Amino acid sequence: MTGDRRIYLDNAATTRPLPAVVEAMADTQLACFGNPSSAHSFGPPAKKALDDAREFLRGTLGAARIVFTSGGSEADQLGIVGSAAARAPGRVLMSQGDHPALLQCAGLLSRWRHHVTALPVTEHGDLLPETLFDALGTDVRVVALMYGHNELGTLCRLGDLVELVRRTAPAAHVHVDLVQTYGKLPFELDDVGVDSVAVSGHKFHGPRGAGFLALSSTAELKPLLLAGGQESGLRGGTENVAGAVGMAVAAEAALTHQSAHAAHMRQLCDLVLEQVLTAMPDAMRLGHPERHLPHILSLRLPGVVGQTLLERCDARGVAFSTGSACHTAADHAAADAHPGNPVLAAIGLDRRAAREVVRLSFCGTTTHAEADAAAHVLVEEALRLRELAPRGAGR
């Protein structure tokens, strides 16, 4: 497959921006190029475009306010580290299988004398309520949770986890990484009772380099970037007006078609999974069997090196991944001396098993024909690799 016939199944890494998003951003760049903070006549149009986008995005989550950021990673760090900085030294809880955007907050948190406790997860990448309960205490200042795992697709039992925090450590700030879930499943801050939520524009057909942190009315945090004191003093720097407008356009489209697209993407996951299991009965789907995102299909294919399979399928026009695109080349190199990537190690996979994992992720416009063709290529190449492997290797 070449040219326009290429099939893109790595939407958990990034999505193609909608034409309407690109158009709206281009129009905003030209018509509202002024600085929103400027007092002259070029400032107000940019400020109005920014405020309109802010109000719309705020309403999509029922938030009291939002802070525009450069993306989901910055929103996670502002939500976790910013809230911890506003509190006395204590513990910050998260899970061992979390995204690097959460786990790598540990260095920043240490500057405020906070200590990170990374909790173990199940073989599905699920943080059990009893595990969280055992770790909770009055010294817990922040609890960070991923609602929609980026590599496994697992949806945590968010309501149960938040209820435990409110009962045992009521003063703790509860932050949720919603990067993979926003626009795909319903979510409101008040319904769950969390304090902050991180969102990234390029995960729902919006722009790269744009995201936001949604806050409850009682959330307290300190800025990590002062600069000129923009975003009500919580995030300095001249605002990305076009990025905010682009996210609003993308969010409106995602929410309008949310239910239909979720059902469609689940069908695509089932279609590919059925074909893989028919040809390779020992293959397995990772993540929770019932609570999972509609668009992510994480597979372990015993006896097949995922990176090699990726390269062979990509050469035939089918693109997917072997894990999070947020891991750097250095991370992958380190994995050669480490039992798999941190997420797969956390769910109990050894080095060999971790190398046999691939992730396919769909979007609302992926067609059944594309999913079917991709499954055919994936199965064909996987079986060829098994035939080429030394007898008994990796089985």
User: What sign does the dihedral 198-211-206-64 (CA atoms) show?
Assistant: positive
Q: Are β-strands 211-215 and 173-177 bridged in parallel, bridged antiparallel, or unpaired? A: unpaired
Q: Are β-strands 196-200 and 140-146 bridged in parallel, bridged antiparallel, or unpaired? A: unpaired
Distance CA 188, CA 63 (A): 8
Residue pair 282/302 in contact (Cβ under 8 Å)? The answer is: yes
Q: Give the single-character DSSP code of 46.
A: H
DSSP E strands in 218-281: the ranges are none
Distance CA 324, CA 346 (A): 14
Residue pair 125/346 in contact (Cβ under 8 Å)? The answer is: yes
Q: Which of 32, 105, 313, 326 is catalytic?
A: 326
Residue 326 annotated as catalytic: yes
C-alpha count within 13 angstroms, C-beta hemisphere, residue 1: 17
Residue 255: Cβ within 10 Å count: 15
Complete DSSP assignment for 272-287: HHHHHHHH-TT-EE-S
Those residues whose C-beta lies under 8 Å from the C-beta of residue 109, and which sit 6 or more positions away, are 80, 81, 84, 92, 115, 116
Residue 115: Cβ within 10 Å count: 13
Active-site annotation, residues: 326
